[in-house]
Amino acid sequence: MYIEVRDLVKTFNGHVASDHVSFSIRKGSLVGLLGPSGGGKTTILRMLAGLETPDSGEIYIDGKLVNDVPPQKRGIGFVFQNYALFRHMTVYDNIAFGLTVQKRRKQEIRKRVTELLELTGLSGLERRYPNQLSGGQRQRVAFARALAPEPQLLLLDEPFAAIDAKVRKELRAWLRATIERIGITTLFVTHDQEEAVEVADEIMIVSNGRIEQHGTPYDIYKNPQTPFVAGFIGESQLLDDPGSLTGFEDVQPGSKAIIRPEFTEVGTLGELSAPYAAQAGKVQSVMFRGSSWQVEVRTGQHTIQAYRSLEQKQLKPGDDIWVLIHRLYLFKDGESYVVENAKKAAAAPAKVGQSAAL
Amino acid sequence: MAGATPSALARSGKSAVASAGLQESRLVRLLLITVALLFIFVVLILPLITVFEQAFRKGVDVYIAAITDPDALAAIRLTLVTALIVVPCNTIFGVAAAWAISKFRFRGKQVLVTLIDLPFAISPVISGLIFVLLFGNQGFFGPFFIERDMPIIFAFPGIVLATIFVTFPFVARELIPVMQAQGNQEEEAAVSLGANGWTIFRRVTLPNIKWGLMYGIILCNARAMGEFGAVSVVSGHIRGKTNTIPLHVEILYNEYQFAAAFAVASLLVLLALVTLAVKGYAERKHEQARLDIEPQGGNQ
């Protein structure tokens, strides 16, 4: 493992920002620390960089304990949330700073900076000052500056937070491609799940100073291990008493369930993929969501959200309708399960056989 | 902050062709401008002219004689040497204090901020008395130094101490808001890029605060040379030995040598004018440096 963090604790005036955090990261991976604001993501990042001293715990980089290594000697590139560019220096001098500090030769510095200007698409802007750049350009300068001394690890704190939505999308793709090209181990912090899913190979969900789950984005979506993760990733809704839902009668009493709109189908019996596992309901409201309808259905004691294709007949509030729930995430006593609709599963072999024959 | 304010004013001056909605009627504008100009003339310009008018009243020869008088030259020398010691001391202290206050979290920070303001809050006469009480004949430390033939009060060290005390807040007060507004992100970035403390100060912090620092130093210097109250208490007014320029002016005035008093006073006025000019020049340079690079950024 390239980075190993063990039992990291950090408290600020009684507020626990990092609560026995442990994780490890492979060399070359691109990892996103995802979680709500104030959850301790930035603190973890700053401790890795040496800008914050942990109260206890160990940080290993490339097998070496770095707790007592000053930030200057850790070989880490850090991109700050609002970039922290040196305002009185030109783009060129900003990028060259880390190299001039190392007293490298002038030509060597020129070569490296030119290389980075090209990599970041900033050629021609080297004589500008930070206040003459757009948000996206500043971010790329910060990125180039952090990369200049050839760090072994790159840390980015909310790299896209200060950029407007349209440019952000472009930059994300660019950042991902660039990091892949250089092959540098990268850790970034974000509170935006879409961003984390799009950019990262692996995600760590951080909340209240703890790592809730660490895995690939798909794995976290498929198998959330805590109610927090299930609730934080994707759209979701908490249901009490899931045993009253058709197909989930065998669920242990006292469980809590989380359901996602994409687990649910609504429509007439004819429209549903497994009508025998559905239950009756009434449409409460219908909302246009751009690429689909979001339908709120009352069924038994539950109100459930579902998506419905624009191709299908439009529903109106008050319509009698059928609801098919494919699966639920169940949580009981700290354990989590994914439970499929039992009625659908019982009748499934016939369907499986059918599709196999096709 | 004050370091940034004048240049901000100068900048907005260019765009001050106010929108039509903000235009006052001709009469109101004329009235406001007249009042402002009149006030400036009576309070600022007139006294300035008077000083020079009085100084040269008895002719250039008297003027030159007044300022080349051995006692006057001694006063000038003493004032310059005092400023030469005091300004660097308070600059170093001011930068250190502003650095500590704006970049670190520590206990008693608020107390330190309040203490820095102390010399502004007390009357300079009291400031002088404090040193008399400490180092005077009957003072706590006085006998110690007097026995060793190094008197502090009624001597050069006392003048330096009193001046340091009185001009203590200028640099720190100028820098604290500037540095607090800037935060320490740039310093952190420099650390993560491998720079050590001194390099960070020299290449990141100092360039960011240089105009505020400059302004603080100029104010500190002006006050150090012009201080009267505190220095008057500790100096003892020994002609040719412990008289600074302001004290010398007072003595001459009390002896009814008006022309000479104003001649020496005009030196302090000249100092003030030079201070203003230096400040203006520095600001213009700063502005120019900014404008030189602006056009490239304009079309973006």
Least confident of A249-263, B3-17, B64-78, B91-105: B3-17
Region B247-265: mean pLDDT is 89
Enter the DSSP assignment of B41.
I
Considering chain B, what is the average pLDDT of its residues? 83
Tell me: pLDDT of B289 over 70.
no
pLDDT at B163: 93
pLDDT at B19: 65
Long-range contacts of A347-353 (CB under 8 A, 24+ apart): A347/A274, A347/A276, A347/A277, A348/A274, A351/A274
Tell me: pLDDT of B12 over 90.
no
Mutation target among A42, A90, A97, A156 for the B interface, most CBs of B within 10 A: A97
Tell me: pLDDT of B107 over 90.
no
- Residue B74 CA to residue B68 CA, distance in Å, equals 9
For chains A and B, what is the number of CB pairs under 8 angstroms?
A: 73
What are the structural domains of chain A? 3-231 (3.40.50.300), 237-350 (2.40.50.140)
Interface of A with B (CB under 8 A): 49-51, 71-73, 76-78, 80, 82, 84-89, 97-98, 101-102, 127-129, 131-134, 145-146, 148-149
Looking at the partner chain, which of B186, B195, B196 has a beta carbon nearest the beta carbon of A84? B186
The interface predicted TM-score of the complex, written ipTM, equals 0.79
Q: Helix, strand, or coil here: B284?
A: helix
- Residue B43 CA to residue B266 CA, distance in Å, equals 17
- Print the SS3 string covering A140-187: HHHHHHHHCCCCCEEEEECCCCCCCHHHHHHHHHHHHHHHHHHCCEEE
Residue B299's pLDDT band (cuts 50, 70, 90):
very low
pLDDT per residue rounded down to tens, chain A (358 residues): 689 999 999 998 888 899 999 999 999 899 999 999 888 899 999 999 999 999 999 999 998 999 999 999 998 999 998 899 998 899 999 999 999 999 999 999 999 999 999 988 899 999 999 999 988 899 999 999 999 999 989 999 998 887 888 888 888 888 889 888 888 999 999 998 888 988 999 999 999 999 999 999 999 988 888 888 888 888 888 888 888 888 888 888 888 888 988 889 999 888 888 888 888 999 999 999 888 899 999 988 888 999 998 888 888 898 899 999 998 888 887 788 888 888 887 765 544 434 433 3
Nearest chain A residue (CA) to B292: A128
pLDDT at A314: 87
Mutation target among A101, A143, A145 for the B interface, most CBs of B within 10 A: A101
- Residue A49 CA to residue A156 CA, distance in Å, equals 10
Instruction: Determine the length of chain B.
Output: 300
Nearest chain A residue (CA) to B199: A101
Verify whether the Cβ–Cβ distance A86 to B192 is below 8 Å. Answer: no
Long-range contacts of A191-198 (CB under 8 A, 24+ apart): A191/A34, A191/A35, A191/A36, A191/A37, A191/A41, A191/A158, A191/A161, A192/A34, A192/A160, A193/A34, A193/A232, A193/A233, A193/A234, A195/A32, A195/A160, A195/A168, A196/A32, A196/A34, A197/A221, A198/A172, A198/A173
Nearest chain A residue (CA) to B286: A88
Instruction: Output the CA angle B241-B242-B246, nearest 5 degrees.
Output: 120
Higher-confidence residue: A288 or B278? A288
Least confident of A8-12, A105-109, B10-14, B247-251: B10-14
Residue B224: which of B95, B87, B126, B72 has the closest Cα? Answer: B87
pLDDT at A84: 92
